[in-house]
Structure 1
Protein backbone atom coordinates (compact mmCIF):
# COMPACT_ATOMS: atom_id res chain seq x y z
CA UNK A 1 0.00 0.00 0.00
CA UNK A 2 1.10 3.55 -0.59
CA UNK A 3 -0.13 6.95 0.38
CA UNK A 4 0.06 9.95 -1.92
CA UNK A 5 2.40 12.71 -0.79
CA UNK A 6 2.31 16.10 -2.49
CA UNK A 7 3.93 19.47 -2.38
CA UNK A 8 2.88 22.57 -4.24
CA UNK A 9 4.13 26.03 -5.15
CA UNK A 10 1.49 28.72 -4.91
CA UNK A 11 1.83 31.97 -6.84
CA UNK A 12 -0.63 34.69 -5.83
CA UNK A 13 -1.74 37.31 -8.30
CA UNK A 14 -4.34 39.89 -7.21
CA UNK A 15 -7.54 40.35 -9.22
CA UNK A 16 -11.13 40.50 -7.96
CA UNK A 17 -10.33 37.73 -5.52
CA UNK A 18 -6.96 36.34 -4.47
CA UNK A 19 -6.16 33.83 -7.18
CA UNK A 20 -3.16 31.73 -8.03
CA UNK A 21 -2.55 28.74 -10.25
CA UNK A 22 -1.76 25.55 -8.37
CA UNK A 23 1.39 24.15 -9.90
CA UNK A 24 1.34 20.40 -9.40
CA UNK A 25 4.73 18.74 -8.79
CA UNK A 26 3.37 15.52 -10.27
CA UNK A 27 3.62 17.26 -13.66
CA UNK A 28 0.16 16.21 -14.73
CA UNK A 29 -1.23 17.69 -17.91
CA UNK A 30 -2.47 21.17 -17.12
CA UNK A 31 -6.20 21.66 -17.85
CA UNK A 32 -7.17 24.34 -20.31
CA UNK A 33 -9.22 26.39 -17.87
CA UNK A 34 -7.59 28.63 -15.28
CA UNK A 35 -7.08 27.03 -11.88
CA UNK A 36 -7.26 29.15 -8.76
CA UNK A 37 -6.33 28.92 -5.12
CA UNK A 38 -8.99 31.37 -4.00
CA UNK A 39 -9.78 33.41 -0.95
CA UNK A 40 -13.50 34.06 -0.74
CA UNK A 41 -15.08 37.46 -0.56
CA UNK A 42 -16.13 38.88 2.79
CA UNK A 43 -18.71 37.06 4.89
CA UNK A 44 -22.24 38.46 4.54
CA UNK A 45 -23.32 40.66 7.43
CA UNK A 46 -26.52 38.63 7.72
CA UNK A 47 -24.50 35.65 8.93
CA UNK A 48 -22.79 37.69 11.63
CA UNK A 49 -26.18 38.92 12.85
CA UNK A 50 -27.00 35.34 13.80
CA UNK A 51 -24.38 35.73 16.50
CA UNK A 52 -26.79 37.97 18.41
CA UNK A 53 -28.56 34.79 19.52
CA UNK A 54 -25.42 33.52 21.29
CA UNK A 55 -23.86 34.78 24.51
CA UNK A 56 -20.25 33.91 23.64
CA UNK A 57 -19.52 36.27 20.74
CA UNK A 58 -17.86 38.77 23.12
CA UNK A 59 -14.83 37.12 24.72
CA UNK A 60 -14.24 37.31 28.45
CA UNK A 61 -11.02 38.69 29.90
CA UNK A 62 -9.84 35.14 30.61
CA UNK A 63 -10.55 34.00 27.05
CA UNK A 64 -8.70 37.00 25.59
CA UNK A 65 -5.69 36.32 27.79
CA UNK A 66 -5.70 32.70 26.69
CA UNK A 67 -5.88 33.72 23.04
CA UNK A 68 -3.11 36.30 23.26
CA UNK A 69 -0.80 34.08 25.29
CA UNK A 70 -1.17 30.87 23.29
CA UNK A 71 2.05 29.01 22.56
CA UNK A 72 0.32 27.08 19.78
CA UNK A 73 -2.89 27.36 17.77
CA UNK A 74 -4.40 24.28 16.14
CA UNK A 75 -6.71 24.94 13.19
CA UNK A 76 -9.30 22.66 11.69
CA UNK A 77 -9.09 22.78 7.89
CA UNK A 78 -12.45 21.95 6.28
CA UNK A 79 -14.98 24.80 6.68
CA UNK A 80 -12.41 26.71 8.74
CA UNK A 81 -9.09 27.33 7.01
CA UNK A 82 -10.79 26.33 3.76
CA UNK A 83 -14.31 27.11 2.60
CA UNK A 84 -15.11 23.56 1.58
CA UNK A 85 -15.30 20.11 3.12
CA UNK A 86 -12.50 18.37 1.23
CA UNK A 87 -14.08 14.92 1.19
CA UNK A 88 -17.35 16.39 -0.10
CA UNK A 89 -15.52 18.14 -2.93
CA UNK A 90 -13.65 14.96 -3.86
CA UNK A 91 -16.89 12.98 -3.76
CA UNK A 92 -18.64 15.52 -5.97
CA UNK A 93 -15.75 15.29 -8.41
CA UNK A 94 -16.37 11.52 -8.45
CA UNK A 95 -20.14 11.92 -8.91
CA UNK A 96 -21.18 11.05 -5.35
CA UNK A 97 -21.44 14.48 -3.79
CA UNK A 98 -24.91 14.45 -2.26
CA UNK A 99 -24.68 11.05 -0.58
CA UNK A 100 -21.31 11.88 0.96
CA UNK A 101 -22.34 15.39 2.05
CA UNK A 102 -25.21 13.91 4.07
CA UNK A 103 -22.75 11.72 5.99
CA UNK A 104 -20.44 14.71 6.51
CA UNK A 105 -23.24 16.72 8.06
CA UNK A 106 -23.98 13.90 10.49
CA UNK A 107 -20.31 13.50 11.38
CA UNK A 108 -19.76 17.21 12.03
CA UNK A 109 -22.85 17.44 14.25
CA UNK A 110 -21.63 14.48 16.30
CA UNK A 111 -24.70 12.33 15.62
CA UNK A 112 -22.57 9.41 14.39
CA UNK A 113 -19.04 8.32 15.35
CA UNK A 114 -16.49 10.01 13.10
CA UNK A 115 -14.75 6.76 12.15
CA UNK A 116 -18.07 5.26 11.02
CA UNK A 117 -18.86 8.30 8.91
CA UNK A 118 -15.37 8.40 7.38
CA UNK A 119 -15.47 4.74 6.33
CA UNK A 120 -19.02 5.08 5.00
CA UNK A 121 -18.21 8.14 2.91
CA UNK A 122 -15.10 6.65 1.33
CA UNK A 123 -16.89 3.38 0.55
CA UNK A 124 -19.45 5.29 -1.51
CA UNK A 125 -16.97 6.41 -4.15
CA UNK A 126 -13.63 4.59 -3.51
CA UNK A 127 -11.25 7.25 -4.91
CA UNK A 128 -8.32 5.86 -6.88
CA UNK A 129 -4.84 7.35 -6.82
CA UNK A 130 -5.24 8.73 -10.34
CA UNK A 131 -8.59 10.30 -9.42
CA UNK A 132 -7.10 12.04 -6.39
CA UNK A 133 -4.23 13.37 -8.50
CA UNK A 134 -6.64 14.67 -11.13
CA UNK A 135 -8.84 16.25 -8.47
CA UNK A 136 -5.92 18.07 -6.87
CA UNK A 137 -4.94 19.53 -10.22
CA UNK A 138 -8.42 20.59 -11.29
CA UNK A 139 -9.95 21.60 -7.94
CA UNK A 140 -7.47 23.67 -5.90
CA UNK A 141 -8.65 24.49 -2.37
CA UNK A 142 -10.47 27.74 -1.60
CA UNK A 143 -9.15 29.42 1.51
CA UNK A 144 -11.29 31.41 3.93
CA UNK A 145 -10.96 35.20 3.95
CA UNK A 146 -8.52 36.53 6.50
CA UNK A 147 -6.79 33.24 7.30
CA UNK A 148 -3.55 34.27 5.56
CA UNK A 149 -3.34 37.44 7.62
CA UNK A 150 -4.22 35.69 10.87
CA UNK A 151 -1.56 33.04 10.45
CA UNK A 152 1.04 35.66 9.54
CA UNK A 153 0.16 37.57 12.72
CA UNK A 154 0.43 34.44 14.84
CA UNK A 155 3.78 33.50 13.36
CA UNK A 156 5.07 37.05 13.85
CA UNK A 157 4.21 36.71 17.56
CA UNK A 158 6.14 33.47 17.74
CA UNK A 159 3.00 31.35 18.04
CA UNK A 160 3.27 27.90 16.49
CA UNK A 161 0.54 26.93 14.03
CA UNK A 162 -0.80 23.44 13.33
CA UNK A 163 -3.44 21.98 11.03
CA UNK A 164 -5.42 19.25 12.79
CA UNK A 165 -7.99 17.77 10.45
CA UNK A 166 -10.25 14.82 9.84
CA UNK A 167 -9.54 15.44 6.16
CA UNK A 168 -6.72 13.95 4.13
CA UNK A 169 -3.04 14.75 4.43
CA UNK A 170 -2.63 14.58 0.66
CA UNK A 171 -5.23 17.31 0.12
CA UNK A 172 -4.05 19.53 2.98
CA UNK A 173 -0.37 19.76 1.99
CA UNK A 174 -0.95 22.43 -0.71
CA UNK A 175 -2.91 24.49 1.83
CA UNK A 176 -0.12 24.24 4.40
CA UNK A 177 2.52 25.20 1.86
CA UNK A 178 0.48 28.20 0.72
CA UNK A 179 0.11 29.40 4.31
CA UNK A 180 3.74 28.78 5.24
CA UNK A 181 2.94 26.01 7.70
CA UNK A 182 5.52 23.19 7.90
CA UNK A 183 4.26 19.89 6.51
CA UNK A 184 5.26 18.21 9.78
CA UNK A 185 2.67 20.42 11.50
CA UNK A 186 -0.16 18.64 9.67
CA UNK A 187 -2.09 16.06 11.66
CA UNK A 188 -4.63 14.42 9.37
CA UNK A 189 -5.78 11.18 7.78
CA UNK A 190 -4.02 9.39 4.95
CA UNK A 191 -5.63 7.67 1.99
CA UNK A 192 -4.08 4.30 1.15
CA UNK A 193 -3.73 2.78 -2.31
CA UNK A 194 -2.74 -0.60 -3.72
CA UNK A 195 0.06 -1.35 -6.17
CA UNK A 196 -2.20 -0.48 -9.11
CA UNK A 197 -3.41 2.75 -7.57
CA UNK A 198 -6.72 1.33 -6.38
CA UNK A 199 -8.21 2.66 -3.16
CA UNK A 200 -7.76 0.21 -0.28
CA UNK A 201 -8.74 2.32 2.73
CA UNK A 202 -7.34 4.87 5.12
CA UNK A 203 -4.71 4.74 7.82
CA UNK A 204 -6.65 3.80 10.96
CA UNK A 205 -3.61 4.40 13.15
CA UNK A 206 -4.03 8.16 12.72
CA UNK A 207 -5.80 9.62 15.78
CA UNK A 208 -7.83 11.95 13.54
CA UNK A 209 -9.56 8.96 11.92
CA UNK A 210 -11.86 8.45 14.92
CA UNK A 211 -14.06 10.34 17.35
CA UNK A 212 -12.00 12.04 20.03
CA UNK A 213 -8.94 11.79 17.80
CA UNK A 214 -8.37 15.52 17.50
CA UNK A 215 -8.14 15.70 21.28
CA UNK A 216 -5.46 12.99 21.16
CA UNK A 217 -3.59 14.84 18.40
CA UNK A 218 -3.67 18.11 20.35
CA UNK A 219 -2.59 16.34 23.52
CA UNK A 220 0.35 14.81 21.65
CA UNK A 221 1.35 18.17 20.20
CA UNK A 222 1.23 19.75 23.62
CA UNK A 223 3.15 16.97 25.34
CA UNK A 224 5.91 16.72 22.74
CA UNK A 225 6.57 20.46 22.60
CA UNK A 226 5.78 21.24 26.25
CA UNK A 227 3.39 24.05 25.34
CA UNK A 228 1.82 25.86 28.28
CA UNK A 229 -1.20 27.24 26.42
CA UNK A 230 -2.93 25.79 23.35
CA UNK A 231 -5.99 27.00 21.41
CA UNK A 232 -8.16 24.95 19.05
CA UNK A 233 -10.13 26.69 16.28
CA UNK A 234 -12.76 24.93 14.19
CA UNK A 235 -16.42 24.50 13.34
CA UNK A 236 -17.35 20.92 14.21
CA UNK A 237 -17.93 18.51 17.05
CA UNK A 238 -14.52 16.91 16.57
CA UNK A 239 -12.90 20.34 17.01
CA UNK A 240 -14.83 20.96 20.21
CA UNK A 241 -13.51 17.62 21.46
CA UNK A 242 -10.00 19.07 21.21
CA UNK A 243 -10.69 21.04 24.38
CA UNK A 244 -9.98 18.33 26.91
CA UNK A 245 -7.60 17.98 29.87
CA UNK A 246 -4.08 17.88 28.47
CA UNK A 247 -5.37 19.18 25.12
CA UNK A 248 -6.54 22.66 24.16
CA UNK A 249 -7.21 25.22 26.89
CA UNK A 250 -9.66 27.14 24.70
CA UNK A 251 -11.99 26.24 21.87
CA UNK A 252 -12.87 29.02 19.44
CA UNK A 253 -15.75 28.17 17.13
CA UNK A 254 -15.31 29.69 13.66
CA UNK A 255 -18.76 29.92 12.06
CA UNK A 256 -17.86 31.98 9.01
CA UNK A 257 -18.60 29.02 6.74
CA UNK A 258 -20.83 26.66 8.73
CA UNK A 259 -22.73 27.47 11.91
CA UNK A 260 -23.35 24.31 13.91
CA UNK A 261 -25.44 25.46 16.85
CA UNK A 262 -24.68 22.48 19.09
CA UNK A 263 -20.97 23.26 18.75
CA UNK A 264 -21.22 27.06 18.81
CA UNK A 265 -23.10 27.16 22.11
CA UNK A 266 -20.32 25.22 23.87
CA UNK A 267 -17.43 27.28 22.52
CA UNK A 268 -15.37 29.60 24.71
CA UNK A 269 -15.64 32.16 21.92
CA UNK A 270 -17.78 32.25 18.79
CA UNK A 271 -16.50 34.23 15.79
CA UNK A 272 -17.80 34.70 12.27
CA UNK A 273 -14.79 36.54 10.87
CA UNK A 274 -11.06 35.91 11.32
CA UNK A 275 -10.62 39.67 11.57
CA UNK A 276 -12.06 39.45 15.09
CA UNK A 277 -9.23 37.14 16.10
CA UNK A 278 -6.67 39.37 14.40
CA UNK A 279 -8.02 42.47 16.16
CA UNK A 280 -7.77 40.92 19.61
CA UNK A 281 -4.22 39.72 19.06
CA UNK A 282 -3.04 43.32 19.16
Structure 2
Protein backbone atom coordinates (compact mmCIF):
# COMPACT_ATOMS: atom_id res chain seq x y z
CA UNK A 1 0.00 0.00 0.00
CA UNK A 2 2.66 2.40 -1.13
CA UNK A 3 0.33 4.62 -3.12
CA UNK A 4 0.41 3.00 -6.58
CA UNK A 5 -2.92 1.24 -6.03
CA UNK A 6 -5.79 3.01 -4.24
CA UNK A 7 -6.13 1.86 -0.63
CA UNK A 8 -9.71 0.59 -1.06
CA UNK A 9 -8.77 -1.49 -4.12
CA UNK A 10 -5.69 -3.00 -2.50
CA UNK A 11 -7.57 -3.87 0.68
CA UNK A 12 -10.54 -5.36 -1.19
CA UNK A 13 -8.23 -7.50 -3.33
CA UNK A 14 -6.30 -8.78 -0.32
CA UNK A 15 -9.46 -9.66 1.58
CA UNK A 16 -10.83 -11.47 -1.48
CA UNK A 17 -7.66 -13.58 -1.60
CA UNK A 18 -7.56 -14.61 2.05
CA UNK A 19 -11.30 -14.55 2.88
CA UNK A 20 -10.75 -14.54 6.64
CA UNK A 21 -13.41 -15.85 9.00
CA UNK A 22 -14.30 -14.22 12.32
CA UNK A 23 -12.59 -17.13 14.08
CA UNK A 24 -9.38 -16.63 12.10
CA UNK A 25 -9.26 -12.94 12.98
CA UNK A 26 -9.88 -13.71 16.66
CA UNK A 27 -7.19 -16.42 16.58
CA UNK A 28 -4.73 -14.01 14.95
CA UNK A 29 -5.27 -11.51 17.78
CA UNK A 30 -5.00 -14.21 20.47
CA UNK A 31 -1.98 -16.09 19.07
CA UNK A 32 0.22 -13.23 17.93
CA UNK A 33 1.42 -11.06 20.80
CA UNK A 34 1.10 -7.36 20.32
CA UNK A 35 4.41 -5.58 19.66
CA UNK A 36 4.13 -1.89 20.37
CA UNK A 37 6.67 0.58 19.06
CA UNK A 38 9.27 1.37 21.75
CA UNK A 39 8.40 4.34 23.98
CA UNK A 40 4.78 4.57 22.78
CA UNK A 41 3.42 3.49 26.18
CA UNK A 42 5.44 6.20 27.90
CA UNK A 43 4.36 8.84 25.38
CA UNK A 44 0.68 7.91 25.69
CA UNK A 45 0.89 7.85 29.50
CA UNK A 46 2.48 11.30 29.57
CA UNK A 47 -0.18 12.72 27.28
CA UNK A 48 -2.97 11.13 29.32
CA UNK A 49 -1.46 12.59 32.52
CA UNK A 50 -1.87 15.99 30.85
CA UNK A 51 -5.52 15.16 30.06
CA UNK A 52 -4.89 15.02 26.32
CA UNK A 53 -7.66 13.10 24.59
CA UNK A 54 -6.08 10.49 22.29
CA UNK A 55 -7.54 8.81 19.22
CA UNK A 56 -6.35 5.95 17.04
CA UNK A 57 -7.23 6.50 13.38
CA UNK A 58 -6.17 3.67 11.12
CA UNK A 59 -6.65 2.13 7.71
CA UNK A 60 -6.36 -1.20 9.54
CA UNK A 61 -9.11 -3.27 11.08
CA UNK A 62 -11.02 -2.09 14.11
CA UNK A 63 -10.88 -5.47 15.88
CA UNK A 64 -7.08 -5.31 15.82
CA UNK A 65 -6.76 -1.57 16.46
CA UNK A 66 -9.09 -1.86 19.49
CA UNK A 67 -6.67 -4.45 20.89
CA UNK A 68 -3.86 -1.88 20.59
CA UNK A 69 -6.10 0.79 22.15
CA UNK A 70 -6.83 -1.41 25.16
CA UNK A 71 -3.09 -1.89 25.78
CA UNK A 72 -2.65 1.89 25.74
CA UNK A 73 -5.74 2.66 27.85
CA UNK A 74 -7.40 4.47 24.95
CA UNK A 75 -11.19 3.98 24.94
CA UNK A 76 -12.77 2.07 22.07
CA UNK A 77 -14.93 5.11 21.35
CA UNK A 78 -11.72 6.87 20.30
CA UNK A 79 -10.86 4.25 17.66
CA UNK A 80 -11.65 4.88 14.01
CA UNK A 81 -10.79 2.02 11.64
CA UNK A 82 -12.28 -0.34 9.09
CA UNK A 83 -14.88 -2.78 10.38
CA UNK A 84 -14.94 -6.32 9.14
CA UNK A 85 -18.51 -7.60 9.02
CA UNK A 86 -19.10 -11.33 9.11
CA UNK A 87 -22.25 -13.22 8.21
CA UNK A 88 -22.57 -16.98 8.61
CA UNK A 89 -18.93 -17.17 9.69
CA UNK A 90 -17.77 -15.51 6.48
CA UNK A 91 -16.52 -12.07 5.65
CA UNK A 92 -18.76 -10.45 3.08
CA UNK A 93 -18.76 -6.74 3.80
CA UNK A 94 -16.03 -4.22 4.44
CA UNK A 95 -17.30 -1.05 6.06
CA UNK A 96 -14.78 1.65 5.26
CA UNK A 97 -13.87 4.38 7.66
CA UNK A 98 -12.00 7.27 6.07
CA UNK A 99 -8.33 7.08 7.02
CA UNK A 100 -5.12 8.18 5.41
CA UNK A 101 -2.19 5.99 4.47
CA UNK A 102 1.41 7.03 4.80
CA UNK A 103 2.20 9.96 2.55
CA UNK A 104 -1.48 10.92 2.22
CA UNK A 105 -1.51 11.67 5.96
CA UNK A 106 0.36 14.91 5.29
CA UNK A 107 -2.85 16.26 3.74
CA UNK A 108 -4.44 16.19 7.21
CA UNK A 109 -2.51 19.34 8.11
CA UNK A 110 -4.40 21.62 7.78
CA UNK A 111 -7.04 21.21 9.15
CA UNK A 112 -4.92 19.61 11.90
CA UNK A 113 -2.71 22.08 13.76
CA UNK A 114 0.42 19.98 13.28
CA UNK A 115 1.75 16.89 11.53
CA UNK A 116 4.62 14.82 12.89
CA UNK A 117 6.03 12.32 10.43
CA UNK A 118 7.01 9.02 12.08
CA UNK A 119 9.50 6.64 10.53
CA UNK A 120 10.19 4.34 13.46
CA UNK A 121 8.57 1.33 11.81
CA UNK A 122 8.61 2.18 8.10
CA UNK A 123 10.38 5.09 6.46
CA UNK A 124 8.28 6.63 3.70
CA UNK A 125 10.54 9.04 1.87
CA UNK A 126 7.68 11.31 0.81
CA UNK A 127 6.63 11.72 4.45
CA UNK A 128 10.21 12.33 5.53
CA UNK A 129 10.71 14.94 2.82
CA UNK A 130 7.45 16.81 3.46
CA UNK A 131 6.88 16.67 7.22
CA UNK A 132 7.98 19.81 9.06
CA UNK A 133 8.85 17.56 12.00
CA UNK A 134 10.03 13.99 11.37
CA UNK A 135 11.02 11.50 14.05
CA UNK A 136 12.05 7.86 14.18
CA UNK A 137 11.68 7.33 17.92
CA UNK A 138 8.89 8.36 20.29
CA UNK A 139 11.55 9.22 22.90
CA UNK A 140 11.96 12.53 21.07
CA UNK A 141 8.30 13.40 21.69
CA UNK A 142 8.52 12.29 25.32
CA UNK A 143 11.49 14.65 25.69
CA UNK A 144 9.50 17.53 24.18
CA UNK A 145 6.73 16.96 26.74
CA UNK A 146 9.26 17.29 29.55
CA UNK A 147 10.39 20.73 28.37
TM-score (norm 1): 0.49
The equivalent residue for 1:198 is 90
Cα distance, 1:239 vs structure 2: 2.4
Cα distance, 1:180 vs structure 2: 0.6
**Gap runs ≥5 in structure 2:** none
The equivalent residue for 1:136 is 29
Aligned with residue 78 of structure 2, among 181, 185, 202: 185
Alignment of 1:1-282 (within 5 A): 107=1, 109-194=2-87, 196-204=88-96, 206-208=97-99, 214=100, 236-244=102-110, 247-282=111-146
- CA offsets, 1:18-75, max 9 Å, x none? xxxxxxxxxxxxxxxxxxxxxxxxxxxxxxxxxxxxxxxxxxxxxxxxxxxxxxxxxx
Q: Which of these two proteins has the greater Rg computed from alpha carbons?
A: 1
**Gap runs ≥5 in structure 1:** 1-106, 209-213, 215-234
Q: Which has the higher contact order (CA 8 A, sep 6+)?
A: 1
| RMSD over equivalenced CA pairs, Å | 1.5
How many residue pairs align between the two structures?
A: 146
Kept in 1, the 8 Å contact 2:59–2:98? The answer is no
**Which structure shows the bigger proportion of residues in helix conformation?**
2
Kept in 1, the 8 Å contact 2:84–2:94? The answer is yes
Q: Within 2, Cα distance between the matches of 1:274 and 1:258?
A: 14
TM-score (norm 2): 0.92
Q: Within 2, Cα distance between the matches of 1:179 and 1:185?
A: 12
Q: Within 1, Cα distance between the matches of 2:76 and 2:15?
A: 24
- CA offsets, 1:195-253, max 9 Å, x none? x211103103x223xxxxx4xxxxxxxxxxxxxxxxxxxx8124223223xx3121111
Q: Within 1, Cα distance between the matches of 2:86 and 2:33?
A: 22
The equivalent residue for 1:222 is none
